[in-house]
Amino acid sequence: MNIPTGPPKQDDAFAADLLRGHTDTIVLGVLRAGERYGFEIYKAIRDATGGGHEIKEATLYATYRRLERDGLVESYWGDETQGGRRKYYRITDAGRAVFSGNVTAWVATRRIIDSLLDVKEPRNG
């Protein structure tokens, strides 16, 4: 018999569904810190969540192409001094504006959901 010994684990599928629609914003957020190559972006996302959230490589590369097509990121090929040739991505001013707008929308949405679920925000002081 398997008896739970701690709090229930977060429903990973539910969390993944919530995050799926925000992949563009997540990538733009990573790129605000500076230009990075594709796998570096993947590692930054994984590390920021302590390994709790990973975005599939195919999803990320489709995201990079879409962001570039929409003018939200630019890319260039790095040199081969550190092994294979890597494609680097950097956020554009348009990408920064979209990121900022998406974060504002997310904060507003979170407030609404918190209100509907009767979640109280911690008070400072």
Element (H, E) at 65: helix 57-69
Confidence band, pLDDT 50/70/90 cuts, at residue 1? very low
Confidence band, pLDDT 50/70/90 cuts, at residue 82? low
Q: Is the confidence at residue 17, as pLDDT, over 80?
A: no
Average pLDDT over all residues of the chain: 86
Q: Is the confidence at residue 79, as pLDDT, over 90?
A: no
Sheet with 73-77, strands from edge to edge, namely: 36-37, 87-91, 73-77
Q: How many CA atoms lie within 13 A of 65 on its CB side?
A: 6
Domains of the chain in start order, with CATH, are 15-116 (1.10.10.10)
The single residue listed with the structure tokens 């997310």 is: 106
Give SS3 for 37. strand
Q: Is the confidence at residue 23, as pLDDT, over 50?
A: yes
